[in-house]
Structure 1
Amino acid sequence: MERPRAEYLFQKWVQQQCTAAEKAELLALLETDETGIQQLLDEYIEKREEKPLLSDEAAEGILTAVFQAEDQGDKVVPMPVAARKTGRWLWWSAAVMIPAAVVGWLLWNKPAAEPEKTTAQTQVQPGSDKAVLVLESGEEIALEGGKEQKGDVPEGQGFVIMEQGVLKYRNIPAAVPDGMHTLRTPRGGKFQLLLPDGTHVWLNAASTLRFPTAFTGRERRVELNGEAYFDVAANAGSAFYVKADSMQVNVLGTGFNVMAYPEEGPAKTTLVQGSLQVKQGHSAVVLKPGQQAEPKADGKLQVKDADLEVALAWKEDKFRFRDADIKTIMRQVARWYNIQVSYEGDVRGRRLSGMVMRSSGIKDMLDVLEEAGNVHFLLEDDKVTVLEGKNR
């Protein structure tokens, strides 16, 4: 273990000054060195020896919770009475269960914190599974995913159901007339949809997909604004078409991503598997797996190798950046957390790399970005100001 670095991080944690990235680094360092754990804990406990830590009942309850949380087959050894009576039960737990106990210790025996204030960082939440379904009649139905539920969604149209958080169109009666439905996700929302032909669609935040309630004939056409991943059901007799901005994607059966947010410039199509043709104006290209098509300034399509981890990160509930400029990053952040972003100073040259889970709170997200690049953030209500430099 890098002793100086671990001591520095440990002291910052004790003083409640650790960022999310520093806390993760501290835990990683501690998990690699049993001796280092013992030294850090011993030194800190010695300094606090004159102060009672916890009652026997509270101590045993927390220790039990630590073992249950780990639950990885570690042998539970009864705590010696002497350890309880000397108030050094945490030291004992670290000795018998390393590194699990130190993680539990960090989580459970934190220094007392100030009462949490109701601030912007507690009000701004990450996105979730939510959308609005717009019927042919114009009626709008609010949808919420992530729940174990099953039942008719539009009144009187039993072929549309919500099942395990996915909107599904199936078993369509022949008597039901064809119509157009629209699924719309807000900023801070995402949703999954199973189209009438069995095509699975993942819709990202601030996106709209317009589609027929039944596919007939030799074509299956949908229209996209925003971003979506398509796992197209194979049907050699009926080609699948996605219209996004001025670009059209022709598919026979494949998995691909289309990103067509107006604020992001020309639409980008990324092929994961299978094959597809991308058209724009008089230009047409055929993509191979791992390639991406994007219109150039002259209107022709450019094909290049895609960074699949970056292009598909959102589908896996991640933010992943690789040498991305700060404004591109913050547009993604703004759509997911439903926040407004402004800039002060010259941040044009700030380029960052890294990965953050989209389930992270807005404060943790911004902390990680600060660690990755020379930028600083001010968060107030639902507004984030990006400042040049860390120390403002």
Structure 2
Amino acid sequence: MRGCWNWLMLLILLSVCSMAVAEEKQPETKQQAKPFLSIKVVDEAGKPVAGAQSGMIAVVTGSDQKTGVDWSFGHYAVRSDEKGIIRYLQREKYYGTIFVRHAELRLVGVKRIDVDEIKDSPVLLTMHPECHVTWSLKSSQLNDIGKQVNQIRGHAAVDDLSCLFCNSSGSTFHFYLPPGKYTLSGAGEHISPVEKTIEIKPGQTELDAGTTDTAALKYILLTGKSAPEIVDVQEWKNGPVKLSQLRGKVVVLEFWGWWCGPCVIRGIPELFQLREEYSEDDLAIIGIHVSYGENDEVGSIKEMDEKLAQVREKVWKGKQIDFPVAFTRKRKLAFAPGGAKVAHSRMSVEYGIDLFPTLIVIDRQGNVVRKMYPWDKVERDKLKRLIEAK
């Protein structure tokens, strides 16, 4: 899969609603433009399905069929016409998978389509009765320290491409999928990512994928304990530096990547602001750069800087990163013994980082304090008090 599902998840959560509204309200003149992809959706009997909602992916938020769920569709949030035809414009937004659902008929369809290999148009996509898949997560480690799993997020992937995302404030995911083989991935505010493979048989309308015991994110278990040293660094920018050398200062570690939109648009500018507010004698700032997918990977600080050239000019207003950045080696590792190898650096494992950007605060004694959201005033006030409490 190109890039990472974390970035896709953030992108979808931030923009899916606005995109859906904007694209459904496109002027009729634009809708007449030649589509790069046309699909004909039919039911199992081959009858065209009119009024089916479609998108590059879909996001379902809520509980179950009894209490109701909220559906959102991302790019190409358009419906099939009376002949079952769906036409897609703006090829630059296409990621390779189409998800289609008819709410009243409870039909769903998923198809991975390589537009460069299309021979016949429109492409036929058969919809099937949806199967309600439930998958629960728990964490014995969190339970032992009196903490909850809290909000979870997950996605289903077919042919190595994500097709359906799920958000839940409880501990159970609810996916609605057609027959086929899928890889389910789950993560949460306090738990490490996990994966599970399922197969939905034709005609199956319910599937209980069971309960998976997940490991707690490492930084939660480290709260109040000595912060792990920075390790497995390929190259430093404005470094090197060791945490052991910074005792007596408050330290913030920003886990980020050049490929991560929220990191470069919001995360790094927030660090610039922190650097302006507090002296280096009181606050040390260190970036932990993590590579992700093969298409997003860079091999050196120089390449990273080259990738960020336009961002520096247009977003950072010419500002340069003047704090140390540890360029970590790309590795595929498990967050916990026996788990899926979904971590991308040794430092990600050491601190349990699966979302980017993530900022970890370390106190003057060298102990992990918490994960921090620097855009939140309450969080910033907590950091201020920590710095002022010399």
Indicate the TM-score class for this superposition, using the shorter chain for normalisation: under 0.3
Structure with larger Rg: 1
TM-score (norm 2): 0.25
Higher share of residues assigned helix: 1
- TM-score if structure 1 supplies the norm length? 0.25
Higher relative contact order (CA 8 A, sep 6+): 2
